[in-house]
Amino acid sequence: MASKLVTELKSFGRAAIAFSGGCDSTLLAEAARRTLGSGNVLLLLADSVFLPRVEFDRAVSWSAAAGMRLEIVRFEPLESSEVRSNPPERCYFCKRKIFSALLERAHSEGFAELCDGTNQDDLGDFRPGMRAAAELGIRHPLLAAGLNKAAVRALAREYGLAVWNLPAAACLASRIPCGEALSATALRQVEEAEAAIAHLGFTGFRVRRLSAEHARLEVAESDLERANSPEVGDALRGARFASWEIAPYRTGSMNVQSTALMGEVNL
């Protein structure tokens, strides 16, 4: 699998990478650095209210430690009514804006190709953003090399990357029910709640903001009992939630509603 990735990257010569600091994009960045040389790789970090500060800090720290060039591209997704209204295809409109901005920066710096960390497992979920990537010609080296998430983690571990077992991440907007308008206040509430829960030692969880007062904390099956502790309650109250429910963590649990609404739209 690694040899296929190397072959794919060599075909680019130079590559700009949509970089988030997560396992997928970090593996891609490291493979590109080893294959093409750091001078032929440009990391582009799309920064907005959708990106938790802990993820921003991780991306900046890793790129600096790796000696790779990182450019931060700031954009304001809530300025777009198509994104702010949070329809089922919000991710399409948002990714279209993100990738367009990153492509513009890449081209201005002399990079013809923009790549991202899409892998094979991403094809099996409701991901409207993939359509935006296809329309704009974004390249997917991990996907082209036939790597699924397990293979990405295995190769990242082989490369000695500390993020090899980092839980999957998603933008803060994914914690808010489809159809509920997005706001900076709501996004901050989610980020504060998740930071407080992480401080208690939980990993691989989500705080779903079902309303301004009510949340659903999704945790690993092994953490369900601990999630009912007073400390967790204090953390959620500290983020201004008055009530909450506890449930097993399920990747893309909000997508069930999104796909149902898409079905209604298509009738």
CB atoms within 10 A of CB 251: 13
**Who's near 81: CB < 8 A, 6+ residues apart?**
none
Distance CA 267, CA 259 (A): 13
The dotted CATH code for 2-165 is 3.40.50.620
Distance CA 169, CA 22 (A): 7
What are the tens digits of pLDDT across the range 132-163? 999 999 999 999 999 999 999 999 999 999 99
Strands 206-209, 114-115: pairing kind: unpaired
What are the tens digits of pLDDT across the range 78-119? 999 999 999 999 999 999 999 999 999 999 999 999 999 999
Domain ranges of the chain: 2-165, 172-257
pLDDT at 127: 78
Distance CA 141, CA 4 (A): 9
pLDDT at 265: 33
Cβ atoms of 126 and 252 closer than 8 Å: yes
Residues making up the chain, counted from first to last: 267
**To the nearest whole number, what is the mean pLDDT of the chain?**
93
pLDDT at 2: 84
pLDDT at 252: 66
The angle that helices 23-36 and 149-158 make with each other, rounded to 10 degrees, is: 50
pLDDT at 229: 97
Q: What phi, psi does 225 have (nearest 5°)?
A: -65, -45
Please name which of 215, 161, 121 lies closest in space to residue 23, comparing C-alpha atoms.
Answer: 161
Q: Classify residue 177 as left (phi > 0), alpha (psi -120 to 50) or beta.
A: beta
The dotted CATH code for 172-257 is 3.30.1340
pLDDT at 24: 98
pTM score? 0.91
